[in-house]
Structure 1
Amino acid sequence: MSFDTTEHNRHRHCFDGVSSVWLFGYGSLIYKVDFPFLEQCPAMIEGWARRFWQGSHDHRGTPDSPGRVVTLIEQPGACCKGMAYRVAPDVFEHLDVREKNGYLRFTTTMTFNDGRQAEGLVYIADAHNAAFLGPADEADIARQIAVSQGPSGRNDEYLLKLAEALRQLGDDDPHVFAIEGYLR
């Protein structure tokens, strides 16, 4: 199962005349920075919560045995911490392929640690994409993550690296840390 959003994303935003764009990362984009950037700053977005509700059929699982990776779910009053990168528009050629399994680019307002704000883009896999797995008990999510593996590696590696990156950002994400606790 796959819902390749690569071409759809390439038509969502026009970068004509734009020299740089802010990108907000809240999952593997925090710790796996395999793209060039011009600037990097811790940031947060409001009204969104990070959840392991997206299936990974192409990176941390397979079509027959999907892993789970994070997406953002709208939640009033929530705050999602992550990392913002100022990138050249051509970086999206790579990122659109990396984030192709159901993720679409959306515009968001980011707040940096110093209080400045900027508009940027964020990849979100909403409930309408074919790879969306939805909510589950955190212990069940941990069990699925423990046994999943795909071309990009073990699913538990993704979870553990994300948890460590969030600690380094000073983020106390109860959902991620609860799943990590069950996994350990």
Structure 2
Amino acid sequence: MKPQDTMNEKTNLWIFGYGSLVWKPEFTYKRRTVGFIRGYKRRFWHGDNFHRGGKEKYVFFHCPSPPQPGRVATLVEDQESCTWGVAYEVTASQIQESLQYLNVREVVLGGYMTETVEFTPKEEGQGALSALVYIATSDNPIYLGPAPDQEIAAQIASCRGNTGHNTEYLVRLAEFMRRCCPDAEDEHLFSIEAAVLSIRDGAA
């Protein structure tokens, strides 16, 4: 029996998002809760040729430049770290519908694979939950890996895909962290955000 078939037999399922899913789930769910998972750190190390990259850019004399992948978040194992995000509970028919949608969005078009993690809600009184999460690893052909923050920022500032500009992905994620997890640390995210905004302001 396939893992997805087993999930579809459940009466409820939690799905953890740490990138665009925190502000743009686009599937029906019963409820959402903010919290974190341990043992992983969020990094803009994955490439994206569809949602936030891959569109041609026009430079001198409107000549197109080669499409460039955007940079989006993935999780990297680190036992000393935790990653904040949102977990969504889906029930009944929502389970199959959400998994089918996310399989296209995250796996087919995004290059992610699924893992099961322990999610801890921010709200007191709620115990830890088992949640499904989508992670891209170095085995993926569009995985870009680590780079200096300024280099990552320059790539994000210049890329656009079918869903929108790469900068929107970054800024909305940073806004979520400030609004919903004000005490959480994410130096990688905020350093890249500052560098991207500096590039954008300088170009204005």
Return the TM-score normalized by structure 1.
0.90
Is the Cα–Cα contact under 8 Å of residues 55 and 132 in structure 1 kept in the other structure? yes
Asked if the contact 2:17/2:85 (under 8 Å) is kept, the reply is yes
Bigger CA radius of gyration? 2
Q: Secondary structure at the match of 1:135?
A: coil
1:105 counterpart residue number: 114
Aligned sequence identity (%)? 40
Deviations 1:116-140 (A, max 9, x none): 1011100000111111000000010
Cα root mean square deviation, aligned: 1.3
Residue ranges of structure 2 left out of the alignment (5+ in a row)? 56-66, 198-204
| Bigger fraction of residues in helix | 2
1:89 corresponding residue in structure 2: 95
The 2-side partners of 1:152 and 1:69 are apart by: 13
Matches within 5 A, 1:157-168: 157-168=168-179
**Residue 46 (structure 1) aligns with:** 38
Provide the rounded CA distance (Å) in 1 between the counterparts of 2:70 and 2:7: 33
* Aligned counterparts of 2:19 and 2:78: Cα–Cα separation in 1: 17
For 2:174, what is the secondary structure of its paired residue? helix
On the 8 A contact 1:54/1:132 being kept in 2, the answer is: yes
Match of 2:24 in 1: 32
Residues 50-109 of structure 1, C-alpha deviation per residue, up to 9 Å, x if partnerless?
000000101000183100000000011101011000013211110111102210111111
Report the alpha carbon displacement of residue 15 of structure 1 after superposing the two structures with TM.
Answer: 2.1
Amino acid at match of 2:147: A
Corresponding residue number in structure 2 for 1:179: 192
Stretches of structure 1 lacking an aligned partner (at least 5 in a row):
1-10
How many residue pairs get aligned? The number is 174
What is the CA-CA distance between 1:39 and the residue it aligns to?
1.3
The 5 A counterparts of 1:16-165 are: 16-62=8-54, 64-87=67-90, 88-90=94-96, 91-100=98-107, 101-113=110-122, 114=124, 115-165=126-176
Normalised by the length of structure 2, the TM-score is 0.82
Q: Is the 8 A contact 1:12 1:105 kept in 2?
A: no
Deviates more, 1:15-24 or 1:133-142: 15-24
* Distance in 1 between residues matched to 2:129 and 2:120, nearest whole Å: 7
